[in-house]
Each structure stands twice: as C-alpha cells, then as structure tokens.
Amino acid sequence: MSLIVQKFGGTSVKDAERLRNVAGIVTDTYKKGNQVVVVVSAQGDTTDDLIEKAAELNERPSKREMDVLLSAGEQISMSLLAMAIEKMGFPVISLTGWQAGVQTTSKHGVAGIKKIDTERILAELDKKQIVIVAGFQGISKYDNITTLGRGGSDTSAVAIAAALKADLCQIYTDVDGVYTADPRIVKNARKLDEISFDEMLELATLGAQVLQNRSVEIAKKYNVNLEVLSSLTKAKGTKVVEVTKMEKMLIKGVTKDTSIARISVVGVADVPGIAFRIFDLLGKKDINVDIILQSIGREGTKDMTFTVSAADADYAAEALREGSELLKDKEILVDKNVAKVSIVGAGMETHSGVASRMFEALYDAGINIQMISTSEIKISVLIDKSEADRAVIAIHDKFDL
C-alpha cells in the first residue's frame, strides 16, 4: 500500500465530464489498495472570472476579501469531485485548506505555507476515506483565509505530499509532462522523461506555468517523488528528480515570461549609494527586482534600469518617486511591453558558446535584445513583448531541442 497525492488542475476538473474522468483516476488508484489524497484547483477559468467579478465592484479590493472570494473556486471543485466519487460508491470527504491544516503566512494573495498539521487528513485516511483537499488556500495565524498565488494548487499538493511523507505526488494537467518549451507555442517541443529539481525550478520561475515554482522548491527540499502527467491520456509523464540520468542535454528548455515590466530611473547622480537607495526602497515595499543594468556614468549622471513583475510596476515607480528626495524629480520610465525569454539547462555551465548561439538565433530572427542576465544554469534576455513567441521558437530551433 502506498500513500499517493494526486493534484488536478483547472482544465482537468472544468465540467461534469472531466470531474467524472478525475473520479475514475482517483478511484482506480484507491482500488489498488492505496491511500489517496487529492488536491484540486478551481474549475476552468473560475479564478479569472472571480477576479473580474471583484473588479466590477471595487478596483482595489482588500487582499483579505480577494482571498475569501478566490478560495471559493477550489471549494466548488472539491465538493463536486467528492459528489462524483460518492456516486461511484467510494468513501470520500472534502476538506478546505484550513480543515486540512494548511497553515500559511498572512500575506494575502501570495501566502507561503508554513506548516501542515496533518492530523485531520490522517484521521480521515485511517477511516479509509479518499481525502480531497482544496488547493491554493490555507489559513493565517489570524484565522483568515489566505491564497498561495496563481498556480498555487501545485504547491498545496507538493507541501501536503511532503508533510504526509507520501510515496508519490502526481500533478495531473492538460499536457502530458514537462516539454522543452510550451507546446502551445512550439509545435515540435519535446516531452522530457526527466528533469532535475534545479532545472524545473528555473523553468517554473522563468515562466513555464506547468508547475508553480514554490512547489518545486518544496519538492527539492523534502525530496518529494514528483511527476507531471496528463489527466486525459495514459502517456508516461515527466519525473522531476534530484539528478537526471537519462538525458544529457545541454539545454532543457526555453521559456517566456510576459508579465514583467522594465523600469528606468534616468539621470541619477553618479555617486555612491544610489543603487542602495533605489533597491532598499523597493525591498522595503516587498518588491522583487530581477535583471539590473546600470549605465556607465557620463557628465556626473547615470541611468539605472531593472525589471519587476508587471503587477508591481506602477507601485514600484510610485515608491521611488515618493520615497527619496534624490529621485523625486527624476524621470522614471515604466515599460510593460517587454518579455523575458530564457534558456535553462544544468549542462551549459561547462559549455562555452551557449550564449552566443542564443543571441545568434535572435539575430537571425531580427529580434533586438534590451537586457541580458545569466547564471550557471540559465540565460535570460529582455525583448519586446510582441516578439516573445517568435523568439522562443527561434531559440528552440537553434538548439535543435
């Protein structure tokens, strides 16, 4: 007997037919004598629809109330799935995040899981129940409902698997694994049999939404046996593992992130302490900065350019304008028309020429690079948003993935 956590995303539970399909997968696993904990997302576009509904009433609703609203999406799926399983004659119970003991930080909208008190889930498993848990949600120490950020059900599933020391955590989605690029953009993208935690973490952080990046962090930390597979086909999925043995590929994948913005602070004094002031102000507002570029000083001034998430961009510019006398009258440009395209692969560390090959692909496609950043296992470029898909395809072709 194994303990298996199975997570089903929005498209996998989008209507009655898909819910019946999921009920089939879950009960097949249960029938084989396994203990099964299921984590569900909201149906189809429910989360987006709820966000729209909120905007009709209030353009800046409190984050607490947004969490109360959005958590409802997962609560609908969990109960409907329980009913479908009940109908098939199996013992089942659905639990909200708080009932399942998911304790989080109190940062509404982007809460992090602090601890999972597994007592209730274990008690239900002991009673031979199939346990369904609402993904994407938990409870803060103030007893408020929190949500874990978009795509957060992946993180709920992996964290529950880690807390229960589950034998396996399966992420069922609408593609049959992790590909060398988003198969919706690159038609000849290839499915990977395996990918390392580090590579998957980079891919997820750089825009491959197939797994939320925090789920991969937790999987790595607790060495969760993790796989990504399709709820609609029986195809073998992708295993996410500590060290890959099968594929010795230089580059594992190409991704794009279109929800970022570039901010330039123009003509700041070329004196010590400017970078500190800018990034300290942003840090205090909890704004994460990604690629940073400082121009060479000329005539006593310089420009500081950096990227942030698109959602933070206006808030960041406001924080800089209001936060420091030194920046108050400076020109602060916000450009949301940008995308970050990246390549990821643990193999590139020991190979030269990877960057130039990527840049050549962009040159061949006539795409201009605005900023570049590199690390041991990734290279990212900032380009015009309208060219993001073309860039992903060109780079994917160049590396013959």
Residues that bind Mg ion (CB under 5 A): 9, 151
Collapsing DSSP states into helix, strand and coil, what is residue 120?
Answer: helix
Binders of ligand ASP among 14-43, rule CB under 6 A?
41-42
Residue number, 151 or 345, with CB nearest to ligand ADP: 151
Return the residue of 44, 138, 152, 207 that touches ligand ASP, per CB under 6 A: 152
What are the angstrom distances between the C-alpha of 15 and each of 19, 21, 44, 46, 174?
6, 10, 8, 11, 14
Return the residue of 105, 106, 209, 374 that touches ligand ADP, per CB under 6 A: 209
Q: Distance between CA atoms of 207 and 204, rounded to whole angstroms?
A: 5
Bridge-based pairing of strands 3-8 and 168-173 is parallel
Residue number, 25 or 394, with CB nearest to Mg ion: 25
Return the residue of 20, 107, 150, 336 that touches ligand ASP, per CB under 6 A: 150
Establish if 11 lies at the interface with ligand ADP (CB under 6 A).
yes
In whole angstroms, the minimum distance from the beta carbon of 216 to ligand ASP comes to 14
Binders of ligand ASP among 115-144, rule CB under 6 A?
135-136
Q: Total number of residues binding ligand ADP (CB under 6 A)?
A: 19
Return the residue of 101, 112, 151, 207 that touches ligand ASP, per CB under 6 A: 151
Residue number, 112 or 151, with CB nearest to Mg ion: 151
Q: Distance between CA atoms of 225 and 338, rounded to whole angstroms?
A: 36
Q: Which of 148, 145, 124 is nearest to 136 (CA)?
A: 148
Collapsing DSSP states into helix, strand and coil, what is residue 31?
Answer: helix
Q: Which of 74, 92, 75 is nearest to 84 (CA)?
A: 92
Establish if 75 lies at the interface with ligand ASP (CB under 6 A).
no
Please, what sign has the CA dihedral across residues 6, 217, 349, 208? positive
Return the residue of 71, 75, 173, 307 that touches ligand ADP, per CB under 6 A: 173
Return the residue of 10, 101, 138, 253 that touches ligand ASP, per CB under 6 A: 10
Q: Which of 195, 175, 212, 213 is nearest to 253 (CA)?
A: 195
Residue number, 39 or 263, with CB nearest to ligand ADP: 39
Residue 210 touches which of Mg ion, ligand ASP, ligand ADP, none (Cβ within 5-8 Å per kind): ligand ADP
Establish if 96 lies at the interface with ligand ADP (CB under 6 A).
no
Beta bridge partners of 254: 343
Q: Which residues of 326-349 are buried (b: 16+ CB within 10 A; e: fewer)?
A: bbeebebeebeebbbbbbbbbbbe
What are the angstrom distances between the C-alpha of 400 and each of 173, 199, 203, 377?
26, 18, 18, 18
Residues that bind ligand ASP (CB under 6 A): 9-10, 41-42, 47, 73, 135-136, 150-154
Binding site for ligand ADP (CB under 6 A): 9-12, 41, 151, 173-175, 178-179, 181-182, 184, 203, 208-210, 253
